[in-house]
């Protein structure tokens, strides 16, 4: 097992290019399986979750080649509609392949995902939407046996919560369904818009992505497609939190300003100075962060749940008390006891509210990453702490941040990846 050794106290200076978005490439890779054509995808981050998705594509018979940050998927000979449990478990969001397999083969056999680090993660919205599109789903012994007796058909689906994964699964199933599909109360995240852009290039007509009502109209044909994955707004907030915790001034290249609109005012309120020049964002922070009275995570365009832990690391050192409400996932404060080991003063009330009493300094400690963003939050907190932090279970971070230590080292952080002592 690998871990990070982080010696805090170095300010961050320099510039970095932002990686492609994990949450965009995963559903787009699933969509590739449904086209039966060739897709050339640029700006694909090198992440363990992306490798897991590629393993699924290969398992069902796709040819996949990676050339640096470009991935080429040829799904013309794909024939497998079953994903074994081992592959499903490699990646939390593998359920996204369900819609794609149904679209391509009219049937699918996958294991039902269990809960995960950040919550129960039910898929009831995915399944009820697919049922309404003509899919028979039998849930037996942890397996989902799905088959369309007649053809998959479009429908008018109203989600009772704008679930990102359910919106994507419906869009994927709708790619080859008979007739138009309308999703009401769809998720509005930028990654949904990216999936829609990819589908439009493939020959599907998708309108309304980024708004609450999305319409998907298949054409019955799929074209070979070239597409560039959008930049990762959550990794942008990881870098912003790094500067806010450690101090300094960095330039993040290839950002999409509009995608960052929900988080910029919050980081500014905490004392960061942020400016843009075309697709470059400069973030500067000197001195102690300021408290933020009450931050609530919400579906886009609200403050993202994926940035909650990262921002908590910042205000843990603020002057004053901040309150953070987590409204999306029920188990997303697992970084709190670890931050407290570093000297933070945070208490969780009623599961979903954290009261953060800012402390002047954090100190190094032996801490454990419990999930991807919580782990990244501990790493950036360590960069702004006094002394040495040993951060275990960094495989969580590798799921979503490409070359985490290389990126921060290039900005001046003292961070090393090492094999755990005694292994
Ligand atoms: C995606 C993102 C994740 C992000 C989340 C919210 C990917 C790969 N992951 O996850 O990083 O934190 O969006 O922005 O894109 N829910 C149900 N029933 C369902 C589906 C969801 O109750 O059928 C609940 C979930 O348990 C959760 C909430 O809805 O409490 C949000 O989930 P959802 O938007 O679906 O998130 P994911 O797609 O899993």
Question: In the sheet where 280-285 sits, what is the strand order?
Answer: 12-17, 248-253, 280-285, 273-277
29 and 148 together in one domain: yes
111 and 178 together in one domain: yes
- Res 114: pLDDT: 65
23 to each of 102, 264, 395, how far by Cα in Å?
21, 20, 17
Helix H or strand E segment including 345? strand 345-349
Question: How many structural domains is the chain composed of?
Answer: 2
Is residue 420 within 8 A of residue 3, CB to CB? The reply is yes
Which residues in the chain show pLDDT less than 50? none
Domain membership flag for residue 43: yes
- Cα torsion 139, 140, 146, 149 to 10°: value is -100
- Res 423: pLDDT: 66
- Torsion sign across C-alpha atoms 143, 144, 150, 152: negative
Helix H or strand E segment including 371? none
Domain membership flag for residue 226: no
207 and 354 together in one domain: no
Pairing of strands 280-285, 107-111: unpaired
User: If DSSP codes are grouped into helix, strand and coil, which group holds residue 263?
Assistant: coil
Cα–ligand 1 centroid distance for 134 (angstroms): 23
| Contact residues of ligand 1, CB 6 A cut-off | 23, 26, 93, 119-126, 161, 163-166, 187, 191, 304-306, 328-329
Return the best residue to mutate from 97, 163, 377 for the ligand 1 pocket (most ligand atoms within 8 A of CB). 163
Catalytic residue among 116, 146, 148, 351: 116
The residue whose C-alpha atom lies closest to atom 17 belonging to ligand 1 is 122
The residue whose C-alpha atom lies closest to atom 8 belonging to ligand 1 is 23
End-of-domain residue from the set 218, 240, 265: 218
pTM over 0.85: yes
CA separation for the pair 126, 137 (Å, rounded): 11
Domain membership flag for residue 51: yes
Cα–ligand 1 centroid distance for 119 (angstroms): 10
33 and 7 together in one domain: no
Neighbours of 86 (CB within 10 A): 10
- Res 115: pLDDT: 62
- Res 76: pLDDT: 97
The residue whose C-alpha atom lies closest to atom 9 belonging to ligand 1 is 23
Cα–ligand 1 centroid distance for 54 (angstroms): 21
Neighbours of 159 (CB within 10 A): 19
- Res 116: pLDDT: 72
- Res 205: pLDDT: 98
- Res 420: pLDDT: 82
Is residue 177 within 8 A of residue 152, CB to CB? The reply is yes
Note down the domain range covering 341: 2-18+232-419
Per residue in 305-361, pLDDT tens?
999 999 999 999 999 999 999 999 988 999 999 999 999 999 999 889 999 999 999
Per residue in 195-241, pLDDT tens?
999 999 999 999 999 999 999 999 999 999 999 999 999 999 999 99
- Res 184: pLDDT: 98
Return the best residue to mutate from 25, 121, 311, 371 for the ligand 1 pocket (most ligand atoms within 8 A of CB). 121
User: If DSSP codes are grouped into helix, strand and coil, which group holds residue 143?
Assistant: strand
- Res 227: pLDDT: 98
- Res 359: pLDDT: 98
CATH number at residue 399: 3.65.10.10
End-of-domain residue from the set 195, 218, 241: 218
Ligand 1 atom with least separation from CA of 306: 12
351 as an active site residue: the answer is no
Return the best residue to mutate from 26, 161, 399 for the ligand 1 pocket (most ligand atoms within 8 A of CB). 161
Helix H or strand E segment including 56? helix 48-59
The residue whose C-alpha atom lies closest to atom 32 belonging to ligand 1 is 163
Ligand 1 atom with least separation from CA of 189: 14
53 and 125 together in one domain: yes
13 and 27 together in one domain: no
Ligand 1 atom with least separation from CA of 163: 34
């Amino acid at each position: 097992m690998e871990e990070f050794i982080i010696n805090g106290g170095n300010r961050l200076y320099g510039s970095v290019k932002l990686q492609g978005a994990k949450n965009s490439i995963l559903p787009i890779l699933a969509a590739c399986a449904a086209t039966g054509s060739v897709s050339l995808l640029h700006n694909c981050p090198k992440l363990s979750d992306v490798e897991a998705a590629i393993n699924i594509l290969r398992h069902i018979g796709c040819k996949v080649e990676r050339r640096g940050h470009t991935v080429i998927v040829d799904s013309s000979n794909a024939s497998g509609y079953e994903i074994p449990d081992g592959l499903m478990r490699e990646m939390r969001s593998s359920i996204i392949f369900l819609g794609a397999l149904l679209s391509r083969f009219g049937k699918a056999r996958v294991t039902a995902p269990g809960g995960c680090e950040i919550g129960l993660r039910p898929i009831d919205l995915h399944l009820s939407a697919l049922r309404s599109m003509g899919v028979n789903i039998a849930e037996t012994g942890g397996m989902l046996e799905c088959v369309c007796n007649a053809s998959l058909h479009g429908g008018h689906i109203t989600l009772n919560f704008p679930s990102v994964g359910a919106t994507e699964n419906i869009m994927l199933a709708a790619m080859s369904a008979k007739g138009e599909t309308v999703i009401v109360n769809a998720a509005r995240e930028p990654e949904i818009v990216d999936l829609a852009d990819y589908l439009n290039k493939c020959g599907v007509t998708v309108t309304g992505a980024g708004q609450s009502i999305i319409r998907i109209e298949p054409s019955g044909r799929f074209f070979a497609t070239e597409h560039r994955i959008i930049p990762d707004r959550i990794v942008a907030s990881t870098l912003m939190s790094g500067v806010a915790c450690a101090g300094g001034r960095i330039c993040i290249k290839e950002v999409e300003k509009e995608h960052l609109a929900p988080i910029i005012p919050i980081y500014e309120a905490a004392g960061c100075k942020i400016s843009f020049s075309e697709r470059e964002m400069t973030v500067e922070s000197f001195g102690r962060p300021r408290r933020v009275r009450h931050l609530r995570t919400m579906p886009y365009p609200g403050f993202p749940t994926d940035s909650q832990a990262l921002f908590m690391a910042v205000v843990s050192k603020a002057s004053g008390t901040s309150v953070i409400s987590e409204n999306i996932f029920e188990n997303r404060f697992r970084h709190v006891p670890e931050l407290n080991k570093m000297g933070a003063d945070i208490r969780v009330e009623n599961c979903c509210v954290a009261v953060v009493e800012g402390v002047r300094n954090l100190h190094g400690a032996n801490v454990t990453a419990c999930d991807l963003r919580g782990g990244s939050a501990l790493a950036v907190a360590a960069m702004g702490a006094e002394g040495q932090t040993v951060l275990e279970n960094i495989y969580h971070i590798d799921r979503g941040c490409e070359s985490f230590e290389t990126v921060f080292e290039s900005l001046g952080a003292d961070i090393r990846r090492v094999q755990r002592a005694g292994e």
